[in-house]
Amino acid sequence: MARIEGVNLPATKRIEYALPYLFGIGLKRSQDILNKVKIDFNKRVKDLTDAEIAAIQKEVSSGYVTEGELRKEITLNIRRLQEIGSYRGLRHKKGLPVRGQRTKTNARTRKGPRKAGSAIALKRKVTKK
């Protein structure tokens, strides 16, 4: 089992598709890394030699910001936006979509589940006379 940047890569997957398990590395970056290190995309993680794993580890750690460092950087960027009081920072604080999406409908991912009773409270009860 290969361990890179503190993440265990799945042993049965091709290395091309296993590297994106690292936060901050997608399929394109994975292919770029493997081209630089000259490892075949079709090779399975369990078939990698220790030298190949070390080469991948060295390339990832020297050339890319991944895992904890990247999460920390993203958090600091969001905190900076909130502290300077920018529009984007306010949207992050309120838990609303940041990039101009509509919120009248949809936006459930950011807003969370619908609040129970909000639609019922608006309806007026009709009483018969």
Distance (Å, rounded) from C-alpha 22 to C-alpha 2? 12
Does the 3-63 domain belong in CATH 1.10.8.50? yes
- CATH code of domain 70-122: 4.10.910.10
Q: Is 25 exposed, middle or buried (0-12, 13-18, 19+ CB in 10 A)?
A: buried
pLDDT digits over 33-62, tens only? 999 999 999 999 999 999 999 999 999 999
Q: Cα-flanking dihedrals φ and ψ of residue 99, to 5°?
A: -105, 35
What would the DSSP string read from start to end of 21-72?
A: GSTT--HHHHHHHHHHHT--TT-BGGG--HHHHHHHHHHHHHH---HHHHHH
SS3 breakdown of the chain: % helix, strand, coil, rounded to 5? 55, 5, 40
Domain map of the chain by residue range? 3-63, 70-122
pLDDT digits over 10-25, tens only? 999 999 999 999 999 9
pTM of the model: 0.75
Quote the pLDDT of residue 120. 59
Quote the pLDDT of residue 115. 84
Answer left, alpha or beta for residue 9, where phi above 0 means left and psi between -120 and 50 means alpha. beta
